[in-house]
Amino acid sequence: MASTKEAAMEHSVVGGQGELSQRQVLSKIWNLAFPAIIEQFLVTLVGMADMIMVGRLGASAIAAVGLSNQPIFTANAIFSAISIGSTALLARLMGARDIKFANKAARQSLILAVITASVLMLGVFAFAPAIIHFMQAEPDVAPLAITYARIVGVSLVFSLTNLILNGVLRGAGDMRTPMRVNTVANLINVVFNYLLIFGVGPFPELGVAGAAYATLLAHLVAFCMVLSVFFSGKFVLHFRKDQSYRPDWGIIKRILNVGLPASIEQLIMRVGMMLYARTVSGLGTVAYAAHQVAINSEGITFTPGIGFSMASTTLVGQSLGAGLPERAKRFGIASRRLAMLTMGTLGLLLFFFPAQILGFYTNDAEVIEQGIVCLRIIALVQPLMGATFVMMGSLRGAGDTRFVMLVTMLGIWGGRLGAAYLFVKHFDLGLAGAWLAMAADHLVRASIASWRFHQGGWQQAKV
């Protein structure tokens, strides 16, 4: 039977100690990024399908889903940050060939996931009305938004635990299992969206609530699937019933040392995004509906950036764990170039065909007219967004989450919120002003994160 070091060597994705050619670097990035891109592409398609189906119910339904997703996205963002701690720690341990400790860290990630997800689930359910009213939802939108938020809020215990365990898999270099799990879950989501939103056959016509129940079912299935992977014993990291599931505060502290700054970063981002959405919702239901369908439309261009960011997070972390800081830097820079190229290319579709893309979501001429301006603004910023995704992901993989937190604060609160207040309130640029502010945010974050990565201070980060 192979030793734990040999098993770890087999599952390490950064290669041995010898110098890698540029072709080998690109190949390793692509091998990890491709499944992640497919996964994100499918997630985005499901989000688009959701919005297309909800869009048939009218502008109020679109606005309701968009507003109610804000507290859900906040919970997801905080949790994904804890997942970053697990991913960074697992990547270092796999890079160092310490598979025994990696297994223990994976179990502690599960314990942390279940406890914190349960707390967040109760919080979203209890405070959904207060949050929706704070978001300045109009009277026809608020009841729909509260119902949607509460139903999806119940699913958080499944979706957030799934998020953490997928982070563990990615840290170990397995991008394919999360792709398979989320593919099945997304198909379930789309099918039951159609059945429950419109009341097909024996299924009730639930409208916006139907979309929420479909999401709940999809997250439950994904949760069961990813747990079965760990308990099957077929993966290098695995769970057994006879293992200890008591909290190990030493390991949890290591996860949180990286994850807590990332959680604060995501909290800063999501609170900023909620205030940003509040600014947009103050422009009226039509403007917010245009904002929401434009965000969904551009989501497809995010997928390469997120995929290359995930690959870079794992490759940078494992390279540092293996004692190869210069290789980590090469992986980060090459991933950034690939993300900028692919996102810039996809951005051309947003610029030249905005009306056709928006037409999939709605036939409301006013919504489409405002959305066209948004897509053309953000099309020009796609390369910057690619740089933002990958550089921030690379720094997180290194465990340099405190610096990432500061960058996010400057970008979201200084760039996006500051510019949105100026452009929307003072210059009266409407929805276009809000999207120009989004561009300012990415300019700030891409510039500062790239400077940090080239400066090299992240190579000394402790995990």
Q: Judge whether 110 and 257 are in contact, CB under 8 Å.
A: no
Rounded distance between C-alpha atoms, residue 190 and residue 154, angstroms: 19
Query: Max CA-CA distance within the chain?
Result: 69
Instruction: Name, in order, each residue with C-beta under 8 angstroms of 345's C-beta and a sequence gap of 6 or more.
Output: none
- Taken as a whole, the chain contains a residue count of 463
H helical segments located in 138-175? 142-154, 156-171
Place of tokens 């561009």: 439
Distance from CA of residue 296 to its chain's centroid?
A: 14
pLDDT in tens, 241-283: 888 888 889 988 888 888 888 778 878 887 888 889 889 988 9
Which of 60-69, 193-202, 365-374, 378-387 has the least mean pLDDT?
Answer: 60-69
pLDDT of the residue at 433: 96
**Average of per-residue pLDDT across 335-342:** 97
pLDDT of the residue at 14: 62
**Average of per-residue pLDDT across 411-429:** 92
Rounded distance between C-alpha atoms, residue 443 and residue 29, angstroms: 25
pLDDT of the residue at 17: 62
pLDDT of the residue at 290: 92
H helical segments located in 282-324? 285-321
pLDDT of the residue at 4: 46
Rounded distance between C-alpha atoms, residue 136 and residue 150, angstroms: 18
User: Does residue 193 register a pLDDT over 80?
Assistant: yes
**Average of per-residue pLDDT across 325-334:** 95
Q: Judge whether 162 and 222 are in contact, CB under 8 Å.
A: yes
pLDDT of the residue at 259: 80
Rounded distance between C-alpha atoms, residue 403 and residue 422, angstroms: 27
Who wins on pLDDT, 347 or 233?
A: 347
**Average of per-residue pLDDT across 198-226:** 93
Rounded distance between C-alpha atoms, residue 247 and residue 107, angstroms: 9
Q: Judge whether 378 and 438 are in contact, CB under 8 Å.
A: yes
pLDDT in tens, 80-94: 667 788 888 888 888
DSSP per-residue codes, 367-407:
HHHHHHHHHHHHHTTHHHHHHHHHHHHHHHHTT-HHHHHHH
pTM (2 d.p.): 0.77
The tokens describing 295, both together, are: 């965000």
**Average of per-residue pLDDT across 210-236:** 90
pLDDT of the residue at 7: 47
How many of the other CB atoms lie within 10 Å of CB of 119? 12
pLDDT in tens, 15-51: 666 688 889 999 999 999 999 898 888 877 777 787 7
Instruction: Name, in order, each residue with C-beta under 8 angstroms of 27's C-beta and a sequence gap of 6 or more.
Output: none
pLDDT of the residue at 8: 46
Return mean pLDDT, the chain.
87
User: Does residue 201 register a pLDDT over 70?
Assistant: yes
Least Cα distance to 248 among 111, 90, 114 occurs for 111
pLDDT of the residue at 76: 72
Rounded distance between C-alpha atoms, residue 396 and residue 138, angstroms: 38
User: Residue ranges of the domains in the chain?
Assistant: 26-460
**Average of per-residue pLDDT across 311-325:** 91
pLDDT of the residue at 81: 64
Which of 232-246, 302-316, 328-342, 344-358 has the least mean pLDDT?
Answer: 232-246
Angstrom distances, CA of residue 89 to CA of 135, 282, 386, 430:
37, 42, 25, 44
With a pLDDT cut of 90, the percent of the chain lying above it is 42
Rounded distance between C-alpha atoms, residue 398 and residue 394, angstroms: 6
Per-residue burial over 345-372, b = 16 or more CB atoms within 10 Å of its CB, e = otherwise: ebbebbeeebeebbeebbebeebbebbb
Per-residue burial over 300-338, b = 16 or more CB atoms within 10 Å of its CB, e = otherwise: bbbbbbbbbbbbbbbbbbbbbbbebbebbbbbbbbbbbb
